[in-house]
Structure 1
Amino acid sequence: MNNKFLTGLATALMTTVGTTTLIGVSLQSSQASNTIDQVDQIGVGTLVGQEISDFQRPNVVSFGPIQPDSTSETASKQIATLYVHPWQSQLAVTLRIRQIPVLTFLGSKAELAALREQGNDIDPTKIESKAIDRAKAFAKRLNELDNDNTFKAENLSVTLNPDKTHSIKLNSEELIKLDKGVILSDTTRNKAIDALQATNRLRRLMGNAPPLTAVVNPNQPRNNESGLASVRPVTSRRKGMASWYGPGFHGRLTANGERYNQNGLTAAHKTLPFGTQVRVTNLRNGRSVIVRINDRGPFVGGRVIDLSKGAASVIGLVSSGVAPVQLEILGR
């Protein structure tokens, strides 16, 4: 993607769109080695004109309630942010909560092409994009809930629908339907696992609620009448010390040939097959996250798993560096 297009997109997104109170853009450079640290320090509303790829520092869009005296400081306090970026030659919008990727809304190749064709006068409001509209509405609702004193993250759940899609709900309210246009940002390509993991991230990041272990399936017969259907069985458990790795490896090839994304939910393990799903629980605080094995390590004695920075953030491991964990190997 050329810098001319990105600069135009940045300029367009700096204007108010719909119910948005502040829109800013932040793009990753493939040339400067210290870009990640620079972007973290620059924050919302500053353009760093450069090329991006997939989920690495996409365009930033912050949403918040409309206020007559809305300022950058006010908008920056909103927990839900949107990142507009190309993904596999199509338009995509990734929603993050407190900088942790949760869901990605997929647009079309035509929508991305339509933006590019606008040259330097890029205006996303001039194209019809269901992905942008759905992402904005969901982000706005999450920010509203964050400011609602009656909201409880424990009331978030995930349900299997008759059409085999999943819905994240707050009590009986459907917040978002995970259809073909909405995927987990670090998708495992297993719809049930993705839906459960997205819900657990919301529960954790919006209120420190304990993770769910199952998806509600109202049509499945159950002996315990709990209304829960297990996603994947636990095949084995083990305990040990976990660590994490991040910026120094960001963008490098992992052992299975992928590009390492420090913000994804992946991990390195010495022997588990690539693609294995592992539930990692921090025994110091009880927080859990499901990661996918895509790398080898750790190569420091006494450690059983090396988490990505994104996964470490979810379970509160970043500041301590290491912590005792329980690993639950999930079957296929």
Structure 2
Amino acid sequence: MKKFFVKGLTLSVLTALSTPLLLGNSQQALWASSLEAATTSPTITTADPAPAKVLDPRASEKNLTSLASFAQADGRFAVILRLRDIPVITFLGSTAELTAFSAGQPLVTTDSAMGRAQAVAKQLEQLAQQPDFDAQAIQVRRGPGKTNYQISYQQQVLVTLDGQTFLPGQTRNLGQNALQMANRLRRLLGDAPPLAQIAPTQPQTLVGQAGSSIRRLKSGVASWYGPGFHGRRTANGERFNQNDLTAAHRSLPFGTRVRVTNLRNGQSVVVRINDRGPFSQGRVIDLSTQAARLIGVHSSGVAPVALDILSQ
């Protein structure tokens, strides 16, 4: 067993596991075939993955989240995110990731299983530290195109359930899997009562966090910035932190909260305006590194987005 500490996350690693964690080689086929029966097909339960062994017995007291990585029976890499020692999300990787990890060179890119797990864990840690955080605002609904499910907090997508990200020990009923994952997050993050059903695909009433109507801005192209500016002063005088959910806009008042939706995949993130830019023609917002990662802009560099003002 190897143990790593990644920015406050306890990471326990088992390089071999005799019992399959997931549904093996049929995982992708199972996901595709069961979408049509997400709310009607009978559930077929599978055993929850073996508990991650944490060397430090105080880990659950020190950290809200922990990550445990495993070798799947089919030769792929998998990472389980646990909240208070309860498995909540499985991130499926590739054989290449497993090979790299076995060689002592783990792949931690934005698209890798470990990179995705770390990003979600960090986001959950940040939410839990907010003084006004309310776990009852965690909701689940069917994603764009009805090919996945999204769990969100105040319209900010936390995790998208698909063939690569799913509930540990999931069943054939994907809707129930998504509902169960959302309810685990609600209970473990704030002891909120469980949801009885999945929310409509689109909110019936669009209202801002302060009760004001949401205002849609002109759509355009989003870009991102980070490493070269990390630690520098932003236009409003604060230090830029590439890991915070912030953004630069040409004219919106500082402190404005904006929901940015990637029109390619439907993923959204809520950012706070604290800087000026971008100044390239055709671009409407410049996201921090972390915000770009959460909605899939980091790897592509730019992406078409829609902007909704939530508060000013």
Q: TM-score, normalised by structure 2?
A: 0.49
Question: Given the two structures, how large is their TM-score scaled by the length of structure 1?
Answer: 0.46
